[in-house]
Amino acid sequence: MPTTELEERAAAADLEAEGLREELDRLHAALDNLTETLDAAESEREVAKGKVRELHLLLDTARATEGELRRELTVAEHEAAALRRELMQARTTAEIRGRLIDQIVGARPWRRGRAIRRAERVQSLLAHR
């Protein structure tokens, strides 16, 4: 996979993880708010029984959403880490190949065959990873 595509995918995964973190923070704030509202409503039970039931459902929904967001965040973070590892591997491979090419180009004419054979061996090792 090309390095630029890996960079783009890693950046996109990082952005998605950041967005999920922000959404999780907003959800936590909403959960705190819902908990406070629920406490206030329970003190006025006779007047607000219907509202308490609504808030319980909302709180349950928010908790379920929190669980889903946590799972999505975990997946996004794992994907971002995997893409960063793949990007690092691609960059390292590109750097090795660049050095081999530099060695071939910089070799004296009677040593180029040796440099080319070495490059072929290294390429063979890189291909088996």
pLDDT above 80 for 54? yes
How far apart CA 99 and CA 92 sit, in angstroms, is 11
pLDDT above 70 for 105? yes
Query: How far is the CA of 69 from the CAs of 38, 95, 119, in angstroms?
Result: 23, 38, 47
pLDDT above 80 for 86? yes
pLDDT above 80 for 31? yes
Residue 49's pLDDT is 74
pLDDT above 90 for 63? yes
**Listed residue (52, 60, 66, 61) closest to 20, CA to CA:** 66
Q: How far apart are the first and last CA of the chain?
A: 14
Mean of pLDDT values over 78-86: 94
pLDDT above 90 for 127? no
pLDDT band at residue 50 under the 50/70/90 scheme: confident
pLDDT above 80 for 29? yes
Is 0.85 topped by the overall pTM? no
How far apart CA 69 and CA 62 sit, in angstroms, is 10
Checking phi first, is residue 3 left (phi over 0); if not, alpha (psi -120 to 50) or beta? Answer: alpha
Work out the mean pLDDT of the chain and round it to a whole number: 88
pLDDT above 80 for 43? no
How far apart CA 89 and CA 69 sit, in angstroms, is 30
How do the domains of the chain map onto residue ranges?
A: 3-127
Instruction: Write down the residue that tokens 């750097």 correspond to.
Output: 95
